[in-house]
């Protein structure tokens, strides 16, 4: 098996494992089901990933890496005005969750049902936040000194962004039958919700 074929098999396993974990949770996920969905033998799955834990951590790493890249590439772009960077970061985070709508509930369920999983998730999330926090806070402080925006704690801003964006997808299945026409077209609703979330955050930081 050449290197390209190995990479293809690995990606097939990861895609199958992601679906298995997100829909069934860590405890409910079965490596036999993952192997079957990926079209590989159980032995081959364990050749690539020795344990279910290792497979789980690889998926968590890749998800947080993708979110970090999509959100913080924009937030950390010094060529853009600070307000545009924050606006772009909100949109990128929303789009990431929209592309991974099962992820927020999975993370919450894992933390509640298996507190020991918190350490794995915390390390990844903490690294993502801290990797950009200090530099961005300094720039936000400078912009506030120049009178361009209101003074704000960037970590509190991150909490607000994540709360607004994540709640949309966690609560969507429960709100849909209640909200009727507002949520009848999912694509239109999500576009409107993203715009609303961006406007809400920008109102917090813009000078009145």
pTM comes to 0.82
Residue spans of alpha helices (H) in the chain: 3-28, 31-38, 42-48, 52-75, 82-99, 103-113, 117-145, 154-179, 186-205
Average pLDDT value for residue range 111-128: 67
* 6 or 126, greater pLDDT: 6
- Higher model confidence: residue 23 or residue 4? 23
Q: Mean pLDDT across the stretch 130-140?
A: 79
Give the model's pLDDT for residue 2: 64
**What integer best gives the mean pLDDT of the chain?**
85
pLDDT level of residue 32 (50, 70, 90 thresholds): very high
Query: 41 Cβ partners below 8 Å, 6+ apart?
Result: 35
> What is the distance between the alpha carbons of residues 112 and 107, in angstroms, rounded to a whole number?
9
User: What tokens appear for 22 in the block?
Assistant: 């997100």
How many residues in total does the chain contain?
A: 208
For residue 119, give the nearest of 45, 70, 127 by alpha carbon. Answer: 127
Report yes or no: 58 and 14 within 8 Å, Cβ to Cβ: yes
């Amino acid at each position: 098996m050449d290197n390209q074929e190995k990479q293809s098999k690995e990606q097939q396993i990861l895609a199958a494992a992601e679906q298995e974990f997100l829909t069934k949770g860590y405890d409910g996920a079965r490596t036999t089901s993952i192997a079957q969905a990926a079209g590989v033998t159980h032995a081959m799955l364990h050749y690539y990933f020795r344990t279910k834990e290792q497979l789980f951590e690889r998926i968590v790493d890749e998800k947080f890496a993708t979110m970090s890249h999509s959100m913080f590439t924009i937030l950390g772009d010094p060529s853009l005005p600070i307000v545009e960077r924050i606006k772009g970061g909100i949109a990128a985070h929303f789009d990431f969750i929209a592309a991974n709508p099962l992820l927020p509930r999975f993370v919450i369920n894992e933390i509640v049902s298996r507190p020991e999983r918190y350490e794995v998730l915390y390390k990844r999330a903490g690294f993502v936040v801290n990797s950009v926090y200090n530099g961005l806070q300094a720039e936000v402080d400078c912009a506030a000194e120049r009178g361009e925006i209101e003074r704000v704690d960037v970590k509190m801003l991150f909490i607000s962004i994540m709360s607004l964006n994540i709640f949309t997808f966690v609560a969507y299945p429960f709100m849909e039958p209640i909200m009727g026409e507002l949520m009848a077209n999912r694509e239109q609703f999500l576009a409107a919700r993203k715009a609303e979330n961006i406007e809400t955050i920008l109102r917090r930081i813009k000078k009145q």
